[in-house]
Structure 1
Amino acid sequence: MRPKYTIKLLILLIIEHTMSSTLLSFLIASSVLNPTANNNNTHSFTDENNLSVVIPKQSNKVLTNPGIGFTELQRVVSNDPENPFYEGKPVISYPDTSTIYYRWYWDQLTTATDPNLNERMLEKKIDNVLEEAAAVNKKVVIRFMALRGKNDPIYDADVNKDSSGIPCWLVQELYGHGLNGSSCHLSDKEAVSMFKNPLFIHRMQQFLDALGKRYDNNKTLLRIDMGMVGTWGEWNLSGYAAKTSNSVGLVDNGYTLHNLEPYIAALVHAFPHTPKTMLGTDKGDFLSYATNRGFGWRVDCLGDWSKGWSEMEDGYPGLIAHASDIQTNTAPDVLFDQRWKKSAVDFEICQDSLQDWSNIKNPLHLTYDQVQQTFDFALKEHASLIDAKSHQIPNIYQPLLTAFLNKLGYRYQLNEVDYSRNIPKNGTLTINSQWQNLGVAPSYINYPVTWRLRTANGSIIAYHTSNAKIENWFPAADYEDQSPIYKVSDHFQLGNQISKGQYFLDVGLVEKGTYNAKVLLANDTKMTTDTGQSYTINNNVIKNNNSIVSYVDNNHYLYNGNVKYPSSFFFDKHSEQYIKQQNNIGRWNEIATINVI
């Protein structure tokens, strides 16, 4: 191993021992040609017989990566009032996010009288959300729904104020009212029976097919959350079920799996290329029927420790056990506990926020240990996303949150790289690397491991894309165990066009078909951008000022639930600068240097 002397000290030692000028020149050149190797802040490095081994420094930072972490709800960003896409009251304590969650009722996407999807309504709602998310490197999860909560207010200017979730023309078809001045509102009996109605099922299939034709294969659309059945699309009949019902569950109100199979089939037909999740309920065989067909799963009310009966102690354990129970389930999924390897697991906090957990006067108050157990449960079930509804995170939970986010979803770490330092011109650079997934789930999208050669001034010379598939790099089966090691051997053919000289070797996890790095590694190395420039985060902060025009026309808003969002977006100089920043974040890790000789 090369002694860790400074150049100045080497010169003094050489002079003192009257060493040859040839040796002096070699030592000085070696220290200059290998800056990465000598940077002990980022690497541990050994070099012997032309075989170099680099052990990149690990990082304990929270990584904001595609498809993992906390989600935003009905907004693009919560915690950054300087962000040009920020809207509403600041939520500074909310973590950075990579995913936004939006929900639309059927009547928000068609006019009251027209069965066809309305182009204008789609453009200013779904299209704009996808466009905006893509501009700032975020993904979108969508739920389409047919039945509002019974007393939910309607803020959307496009929707009749007495609508229950489906457009008036469909109410007219199903029940004979809703047009010509009559009410679009569904009675309890109509709402409860609607999901068995063959005409409704037929129209639902047409609705989803039209959406799928427009949005399936959209790379910004992360997944579809299976709605369209029940109140809020949550597979129950809350608010509408008869008072004599034992519960608001679908099974308690006469529904069988056979009645609702068409909804799952319809979503598969409409969105064959988009990942999908199914809501878990404590009654019925709907969840396992869907996971058998490739759906991931999600549940509401994470953190419900209510006395007597709770989701954490009764609901979740019951539905998980039932999903694979061949005795009680008519459509059991015997591989349910392994489905996380191919399809996502998501959770939603059913309370307004984690503030309810911390408020000792709130009936939903949790002890600190219960919060820890809540997070541990999500990790045990290999969760990727948590919808915490863009609300404040109490300071007391921030340490727990950091540890939780460092496990939630995937977390890829490069442990070791060995390679030959000196490569003949037009030769082959063999790179052997070792990786771990320190999270609790894989990435459900493959971001190919890609190596590149770069000059000191940032010019990109060549790329090599590995055959390794990171979606197969699974974490430990138990989140507390050590993750397996994945070994990859890549053979980087250096073309004849690569001149003799010294080059930096970088690695990135890139978007398929591009050389745009999208995933941050759990390594603390020098970072460079897609264009090969050095990246320092403090130099990329954009500050607002009074001379910048707001990015949104404040006279035009739409509303969804209690959240308002702009009806049309346009990009001014501020937002253009922010988009450029977000698309030029340094996600390439500088690993080492090689010499083409």
Structure 2
Amino acid sequence: MYYKQIYLNIIKIKYKIMIAVCENNLLRYLNNNNNKMNTMRIKLRAAPVATIITSLLLSGCYKDGFTISDVVIKPIPKPEPLPKPESVLISPSPLMEETWNADRGFIDFFSPQTDSEVDRYYPKTTSVAYRWNWAQIEPNEGVYDFTIIENAIEQAKQAGKKISFRIMAQGYDNDWGTQSDLPSWLTNQIGKFKIDSVGNHWVADYSDITFQQKYSDLFRALAQRFDGSEDIIHIDVGAVGMHGSWSFNSNPLTNYKDLFNDFNNIKQIPVIAKSHFKKTPIITSLETGAEQFLLSGISAGTGWRADCLGGIYGSKDIVNDVYKPLIANLNNTTPEFSQAWRKAPVVMQVCGGFPYWKTSGITTEDAKAYFDFALKHHVSSIMFTGNEVPEIYRDIVKSASTHMGYRIELLSASILDNIPSMQSDYTIDTTWANTGSAPYYKSARLSFRIKDVNGNLITGKSTSLDANEIQPAEIYEAGTIEYRNNTTLQLRNLEPDSEYKLEAAFIKIDGSPAFTISSDLENNDNWMTISKFKTKSNKYKTIGFVWHLGQSLFFSDFIILKHVICITKFNIFLLVT
């Protein structure tokens, strides 16, 4: 840019002729001024070129009648180097409040929570859980009606939430007008039977080959429409048992194993569901008497669900008397179970709502112990029936809401400030951690961008660091695992003495930010502003000549003439920057 401004036009002069003329003029000048040359100090680099320039200048001035007093030879100052940007290390503080990110947190049942409900000390929810019967989705064989699912998604989106759902395979004597029954076309093929101890509850033979083939067809159709949907946080395998609980009114499946043609073959149900959903997480139930079916799903890549967190039935504490020994046994016999949370979510449920806890005599110490149990087992979400949280539990519920699921934090960033506007790149070194209880189970890559004060995009880049790689510690609250990323952004078109901002987000495949980063830094539409920086001017405080002939050269000395008409005569320009 600068060399183009300084140009010596000697293209029309033949090189050899020019050398001869210039050397002759220079010798003639030196012979005539021999007594004055002791005061001159000529140190020239690139001798032939220097000879040309010096000869041209001196011979030109000599012809115009100037004397040596008109010529001053001074050493050329070296150009100042480009100013270096300033490196700054920042360590943001994490948000001390909940981040209302989807795919984590409390889940409502059946309808989105309203603002008035939140005001009445409901725990704020991020998603809504639904249960539908098979007959509602496939009223006729091979004819699928997803209207009810799509309507639920739309209703949830309007409330800023996502959904989860399960498809149940059960029926009742009283249909209640909601198609809560097995599809008649299916029972015409394989029949149905009543569980005597449950009363009006009808089921099919889950082990039947025809049942499983039709169930696979259903999930194939569901996956074709909804797998990878950003509106669905997970799908619960709810084909087995009452309400899809993998039990019959809290009675283990094993109590009814003789009713099924091949009881062990029920283990194919979660495998079938997972085989069709490659992107959207699948979970299945942790239930006494159904462990082998859960483990079959875990091996296929499903997560798990535990109902009735804090549930007390008579003298039985579900967490302490059921889940703790059940999980301990699974961890000891099947190590794969203890690591299932790394691949798919762990979801729990509060049966009866939080007022039920109070009427059941659950103390604040009990409540904290239940949530600690959930967090220790890497819970992502907790379902509950919408109702107020009694005051004695509110702080505990808020703390659980803050820490459950993923919580991606920026621990530190090495950034630049006072950047020369000619700077060609910007390197940022960042350190991240997941201080929550569970991973982020989808894909979202760390990305950076630089914008000017008017919001115009200057540059941006997506890195190789995916949010799902930023894992929490194996043992909850036992420290964090740090993940470092070093990224260089290519700069262009930076204006001197201007302000820019560097932003970061984890970006989904559609280009939008996936979630809010847990940080006290400025956040706009889930783009976190890491820094605001200024550019410096690139001015050189140097006066000199530059000669451009195919390439640009700087000279050790340069000549300043008092009468610059002698210079312009040769089309030599003086650069002052």
| TM-score over 0.5 for the pair | yes
Partner of 1:38: none
Does the alignment pair 1:115 with 2:141? yes
> Which of the residues 143, 152, 168 maps onto 1:129?
152
2:528 partner amino acid: N
CA distance in 2, matches of 1:470, 1:118: 35
Identity of aligned residues (%): 24
Q: Distance in 2 between matches of 1:53 and 1:390?
A: 45
Contact 2:267 2:294 in 1 (8 A): no
Q: Measure how far apart 1:153 and its partner are.
A: 6.2
Partner of residue 317 from structure 2, selected from 294, 310, 316:
310
Residue type at the aligned position of 2:101: N
Instruction: Give the C-alpha shift of residue 283 in structure 1.
Output: 1.9
Runs ≥4 residues deviating over 6 A = none
Tell me which of 374, 377, 380 is aligned to 1:378.
374
User: SS state of the match for residue 433, structure 2?
Assistant: strand
Q: Is the 8 A contact 2:421 2:494 kept in 1?
A: no
State the secondary structure of the residue aligned to 1:509.
strand
In 1, distance between residues paired with 2:415 and 2:185?
A: 67
**Are the aligned partners of 2:302 and 2:343 in contact in 1 as well (CA < 8 Å)?**
no
Could you report, residue by residue, the CA deviation over 1:353-391 in whole angstroms, capped at 9, with x for unpaired residues? 1011112xxxx3311111110010001101000001222
Residue 194 of structure 2 corresponds to 187
Separation in 1, partners of 2:503, 2:85: 22
How far apart, in 2, do the equivalents of 1:167 and 1:91 lie?
41
Report the Cα distance in structure 2 between the residues aligned to 1:410 and 1:371, rounded to whole angstroms.
Answer: 22
* 1:480 CA displacement: 2.5
- Is 1:294 the counterpart of 2:298? The answer is no
Counterpart of 2:355 in structure 1 is 355
Indicate if the aligned counterparts of 1:305 and 1:313 stay in contact, CA closer than 8 A: no
Q: Which of residues 113, 124, 140 is equivalent to 1:96?
A: 124
Change (3 A) 1:173 1:342: closer
How far apart, CA to CA, are the structure 1 residues paired with 2:278 and 2:271?
A: 10
Change (3 A) 1:186 1:261: closer
Equivalent in 115, 119, 122 of residue 80 of structure 1: 115
In the TM superposition, what are the counterparts of 1:9-24 in structure 2 within 5 Å? Answer: none
Q: Determine if contact 1:224/1:277 at 8 Å carries over to the other structure.
A: yes
Q: Deviation at 1:302?
A: 0.6
The equivalent of 1:53 in structure 2 is 89
- Report the alpha carbon displacement of residue 211 of structure 1 after superposing the two structures with TM: 2.1
User: What is the Cα deviation at residue 268 of structure 1?
Assistant: 2.4
Which residue matches 2:489?
492
Residue correspondence of structure 1 range 20-35 to structure 2 within 5 A: none
Does the residue aligned with 2:316 lie in a helix, a strand or coil? coil
Partner of 1:69: 105
Residue type of the alignment partner of 2:97: K
Question: How far apart are residue 135 of structure 1 and its match?
Answer: 5.2
Matches within 5 A, 1:429-578: 429-494=426-491, 496-500=492-496, 501-514=498-511, 516-528=512-524
Indicate if the aligned counterparts of 1:69 and 1:385 stay in contact, CA closer than 8 A.
yes
Secondary structure of the structure 1 residue equivalent to 2:439: coil
Q: Against the structure 1 CA distance between its residues 217 and 519, is the aligned structure 2 distance closer, same or farther, given a 3 Å change threshold?
A: closer
Q: Which runs of 5+ in 2 are unaligned?
A: 1-83, 537-577
Equivalent residue, structure 1, for 2:533: 594
Aligned residues: 444
Give the structure with the larger strand fraction.
2
Which letter maps to 2:295? S
Q: Is the 8 A contact 1:449 1:508 kept in 2?
A: yes
CA contact (8 A) 1:79 1:92 kept: no
CA offsets 1:246-303 (integer angstroms, 9 cap, x no match):
x442454336663213312321233233211110111241111211111111110111
The alignment partner of 2:131 has SS state of strand
1:79/1:95 contact within 8 Å kept: no
- Counterpart AA for 1:170: L
Paired residues for 1:202-281 under 5 Å: 202-238=213-249, 247-250=251-254, 252-254=256-258, 258-281=264-287
| Matched AA of 2:107 | T
Residue 457 of structure 1: how far off its partner (Å): 3.0
What displacement does 1:90 show? 7.4
- Whether 1:402 aligns to 2:398 is yes
Cα distance per residue 1:184-237 (max 9 Å; x no partner): x85337946622333323322222222222222323222211111111111123
Q: CA RMSD in A?
A: 2.6
Q: 1:408-419 to 2 correspondence within 5 Å? A: 408-419=404-415
Gaps of 5+ in 1: 1-47, 82-88, 176-184, 240-246, 327-332, 529-585
Q: Distance in 1 between matches of 2:295 and 2:119?
A: 37
How far did 1:138 drift? 2.7
Q: Secondary structure, in 3 states, of the residue corresponding to 1:56?
A: coil
What amino acid is the match of 2:346? V
Shift of 1:451: 1.6
Q: Which has the higher contact order (CA 8 A, sep 6+)?
A: 2
Does the 8 Å contact 2:310/2:370 carry over to 1? Answer: yes
Cα separation, partners in 2 of 1:488 and 1:409, compared to 1, 3 Å:
same
Give, in angstroms, the shift of residue 115 of structure 1. Answer: 1.7
Quote the residue 1:427 is aligned against. 424
Matched-pair contact (CA < 8 Å) for 2:131–2:166: yes
CA contact (8 A) 2:107 2:125 kept: yes
Q: Could you say if the C-alpha distance between residues 187 and 401 of structure 1 is closer, same or farther in structure 2, counting changes exceeding 3 Å?
A: closer
Name the structure where helix makes up a greater proportion of residues: 2
Q: How far apart, CA to CA, are the structure 2 residues paired with 1:90 and 1:153? A: 33
